Amino acid sequence: MKTYIAVVLACFVALATCEIDIAPNVVNGVDTSILDHPYMAGIHVNWMGRGFVPFCGASIINRRSVLTAAHCLVFNNTAQASAADVRVSVGSSYRMGTNGVFYDVFRMIRHPQYLLNDDMIQADVAVVRLIWPLVFSRIVQPIPLGKSRVEAGDMVMVTGWGFISSDSTQVATRMQRVLMQAISNARCLWIHRDTIPSWVTREMVCLLAGTGQGVCGGDSGGPIELNGHVVGGVDTSILDHPYMAGIHINWFSEGLIPFCGGAVISRRSILTAAHCLYANLDRYATAREVQVSVGSSYRDGRLGMTYSVLRLIRHPKYFLTYERIENDLAIVRLIFPLIFTRVIQPIPLGKFIINSGDLVMVTGFGWIGDDVFATRMQRVQLRAMTMLDVYGFIETLFLIELLRKWFVWKEDQDKGFAVSGDSGGPLEKDGYLVGITCWTLRPCGSTPSVYTRISEHYKWISDNI
């Protein structure tokens, strides 16, 4: 059975008692391997010209394209990172791209409707085109794009290298994964009614796992596998998720650091969250400031491969503010094509709809607890929630249409959650990429995490890989 990636790009958000976190990580997830998620890629950005640092996650969608979140390729709200500031790592289970391969970026294509400001975020999708095609292998493989919608109740897998716990500042060094369940956008809106309800739109999906599990910050751009860092997840391997990639960014020009997750969607493209591509708080990262790690089960990309980035492509309608986020997708294009192997494989995009109750798998390298990032890939299974679960009723058709773009996941109790550091990571269902980690609230695992639907942006992604 093919694995489809539900692209979920991590964004930041907050409750009255929570911090805004636009870079979800897998919180309390478990270590996983690039062998399990060969489509996972890492976005490394030369942040502020201080060196490449792991920044976001991404998904390999073909030999030259990596899908990620558009916000992952931004230095600030006005300056997008250049291709020279971004690199893509593949074939690694580690955040740093250790033992993986780094590809340079040729071009970054943000969704034309990408928008990010204090009020909303939309079209947070970007395609990163690589200079050289990926060499597919066991640990570097593309993941097919999921065309169908993720519905409430669906279970998905989130992978990433984010913070390893809801109250931790330590990022996972090894890829993390957590299984999460989608919840309805209505329920998600209700949960976030007093904070940033305008950030939950129809193009997104919300996920929720058990208490203390999910995504928080650092998993942005990473894939959601239908059928961020993971909180309460379990260790997993790149062998199980060969589409998993790590986004490394040269944060504040202090060197490359694992920043977000991503999904391999082709030999040259990694899909991640647009908000993962910032080089600092003021500007987008350039292609040279980002690297992608693949074929590794570890947060730092060890034993995997690191790829330089050719171009960062944020969704043209990507929008991010403190009140709203939309189209949080970005594609990281690599300079050299991935070499597909057992641990590097693309994940197909899922066009189908995710329904309430569906189970999906989330992988990532985020927080796993006590300010500690997972060093090994984590994964957690989640179930989709219905809109009615989130919000008692929908008052206008406009709101209904807005909600259709996102989908929500509810973490199973004591199982897992995507958190900071898992942004941009993949949401997988039945072998298809159905979402990209977008955002969650802190404390991680206490509320539904939100993901960008692949089905809503299938055409844009396909046109840019």
Q: How confident is the model at residue 28 (pLDDT cuts 50, 70, 90)?
A: low
**pLDDT score recorded for residue 193:** 61
> Bridge partners of 428?
5, 433
By the 8 A CB rule, do 375 and 174 touch? yes
**Residues 44-94 pLDDT 10s:** 988 777 788 888 899 999 999 999 988 888 765 556 788 998 999 999 998
Structure tokens at 157: 């897998």
Per residue, the 3-state secondary structure of 112-168, as one string, reads CCEEEEECCEEECEEEEEECCCEEEEEEECCCCEEEEECCCCCEEEEEECCECCCCC
Q: How many CB atoms lie within 10 A of CB 75?
A: 28
The number of CA neighbours under 13 Å toward the Cβ of 330 is: 63
Per residue, the 3-state secondary structure of 319-340, as one string, reads EECECEEEECCEEEEECCCEEE
Please, which residues have CB within 8 angstroms of residue 395's CB and are 6 or more apart in sequence? none
Q: Is the peptide bond before 443 cis (omega within 30 degrees of 0)?
A: yes
Q: How many CB atoms lie within 10 A of CB 400?
A: 14
Q: Which residue has the higher pLDDT, 115 or 343?
A: 343
Closest CA to 139 of 267, 30, 40: 40
Residues 392-401: contacts with CB within 8 Å, 24+ apart?
392/186, 392/190, 393/186, 394/186, 400/202, 401/202
Closest CA to 426 of 182, 141, 222: 222
The residue range of the domain holding 154 is 3-463
**Residues 91-124 pLDDT 10s:** 999 888 988 999 999 999 999 988 877 667 788 8
**Residues 248-278 pLDDT 10s:** 988 777 778 888 899 999 999 999 988 888 7
Sign, CA dihedral 163-228-84-297, equals: positive
Please provide the average confidence, as pLDDT, over all residues in the chain.
75
What is the rounded CA–CA span in Å between residue 339 and residue 224? Answer: 22
Pick the range with the lowest mean pLDDT from 205-219, 261-275, 393-407: 393-407
CA distances in angstroms from 277 to 58, 71, 289, 291, listed in the order given: 11, 5, 9, 11
By the 8 A CB rule, do 347 and 263 touch? yes
Structurally, how many domains does the chain consist of? 1
Pick the range with the lowest mean pLDDT from 11-20, 46-55, 182-191, 356-365: 11-20
**Residues 373-382 pLDDT 10s:** 677 888 877 7
